[in-house]
């Protein structure tokens, strides 16, 4: 019996990295007798990329550089020698070839604030359950548990190459924000990570009939206010970006946008938009003033 390598494979496979960046892919081997798996990258030879316009190799062994969006086949091999005296008794010289794919990914992000949620967005049913509508934009809700003024926003990440199957995430940061009660009284509003929970995202570029789209939905606003006839104001600046699950940024550029709205609740708790400040109750690109009167 040959107690040596009996199979090799690449990990990760598919390998993913953004355009203009790079990362380490490794070759692993299993031992026929022990069943143990060992990283054998340092023993491997001739790493190659089938499409160097998409991905190139080096300078380190197994290092893959993302050149442009697309997919390239990656190959390498390791040699099991019969004469190396390290438990390979009864083996014959054999080359074991490992192959896999490298996805060099870019994501461009757009936002939708009118119409309804996309039919291939797997998070859309959660959005509808919460808000009672599939419509986007600044609006009110009369759902019993969500009497609210809110800005319904769908962020769309268009993935290149569109055939990518691994999960990708749209994440969000609050750059600045302000919240006011009784019209003008500020209360604390924390900035930083504001990534939606997975139930209202669609991280699968192939879910539904997406063919290379990922989604995020958000509903910033005010719900179930308990200070009747008092105005609640919310001004917030967001930045949306796309990442691999491990956090590597893959979006070509972040999308900065803002939401500003003011909401009034009547004695029955029903919400209506307050229009006393000019230019209020909007979702837009770029940034907004976060003062209560937008001055």
Partner 1 sequence: MTNLGTIFRTCALFGLFLSLACLPKAFGECAALDDNSPATQLLAFLRASADLPREQWNVDCLTFAIRHLEYRKPATDTIRVLIGFLDFKRPLSQAERLGFVIHGAATVSNLFPAAGTLFTYGKLALPELVAAIENSASPTVTQNATYTVMEIFRDEPATGIEYLKHQAAVLDRSKATKLREAASIAVQWCGAKHQAECEAALKN
Q: Which positions lie near partner 1, rule CB under 8 A?
A: 122, 125-131, 146, 148, 150, 167, 169, 174, 177, 179, 181, 187-190, 194-200, 203, 207-208, 217-226, 232, 234, 236, 245-247
Distance in Å, CB of 178 to partner 1, minimum:
10
Pull the structure tokens for residue 276.
Answer: 């006393």
Among 54, 215, 204, smallest CA distance to 134 is for: 215
**C-beta closer to partner 1: residue 77 or 180:** 180
Taking the least distance from each CB to partner 1, the nearer of 88 and 126 is: 126
Quote the least distance from Cβ 179 to partner 1, whole Å.
5
Provide the minimum distance between the beta carbon of 159 and partner 1 in the complex, in angstroms, as a whole number. 16
131's tokens: 């808000």
Sheet arrangement for strand 26-31: 5-11, 26-31, 37-39
Question: Measured over all CA atoms, what is the biggest interatomic distance in the chain, rounded to whole angstroms?
Answer: 88
| Least Å from the CB of residue 64 to partner 1 | 20
Nearer to partner 1, 37 or 179 (CB): 179
- Closest to partner 1 by CB, 96 vs 265, is 265
Question: CB of residue 223 vs partner 1: minimum separation in angstroms?
Answer: 5
The H or E element containing residue 256 is strand 255-265
Q: Which letter, b or e, does each residue of 49-72 get, where b requires 16 or more Cβ atoms within 10 Å of its Cβ?
A: bebeebbbbeeebbebbbbebbbb
- Bridge partners of 138, per DSSP, are 151
Distance of CA 1 to the CA centre of its chain: 48
**Choice between 15 and 234, CB closer to partner 1:** 234
């Amino acid at each position: 019996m040959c107690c040596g390598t009996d199979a090799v494979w690449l990990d990760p496979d598919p390998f993913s990295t953004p355009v203009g960046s790079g990362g380490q892919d490794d070759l692993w081997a299993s031992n026929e007798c022990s069943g143990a798996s060992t990283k054998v990258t340092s023993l491997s030879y001739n790493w190659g990329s089938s499409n160097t316009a998409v991905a190139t190799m080096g300078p380190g062994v197994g290092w893959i550089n993302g050149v442009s969006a697309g997919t390239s086949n990656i190959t390498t091999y390791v040699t099991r020698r019969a004469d190396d005296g390290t438990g390979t008794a009864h083996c014959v010289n054999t080359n074991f070839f490992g192959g896999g794919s490298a996805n060099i990914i870019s994501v461009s992000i757009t936002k939708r604030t009118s119409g309804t949620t996309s039919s291939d967005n797997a998070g859309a049913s959660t959005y509808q359950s919460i808000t009672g509508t599939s419509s986007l934009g600044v609006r009110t809700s009369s759902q019993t548990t969500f009497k609210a003024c809110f800005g319904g926003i769908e962020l769309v990440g268009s993935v290149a190459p569109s055939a990518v199957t691994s999960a990708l995430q749209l994440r969000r940061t609050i750059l600045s924000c302000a919240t006011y009660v009784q019209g003008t009284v500020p209360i604390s509003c924390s900035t930083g990570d504001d990534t939606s929970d997975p139930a209202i995202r669609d991280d699968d570029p192939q879910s539904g009939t997406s063919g290379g789209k990922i989604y995020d939905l958000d509903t910033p606003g005010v719900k179930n206010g308990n200070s009747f006839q008092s105005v609640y104001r919310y001004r917030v600046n967001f930045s949306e970006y796309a990442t691999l699950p491990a956090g590597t940024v893959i979006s070509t550029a972040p999308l900065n946008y803002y939401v500003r709205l003011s909401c009034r609740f009547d004695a029955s708790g029903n919400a209506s938009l307050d229009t006393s400040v000019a230019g209020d109750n909007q979702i837009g690109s770029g940034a907004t003033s976060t003062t209560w009167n937008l001055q």
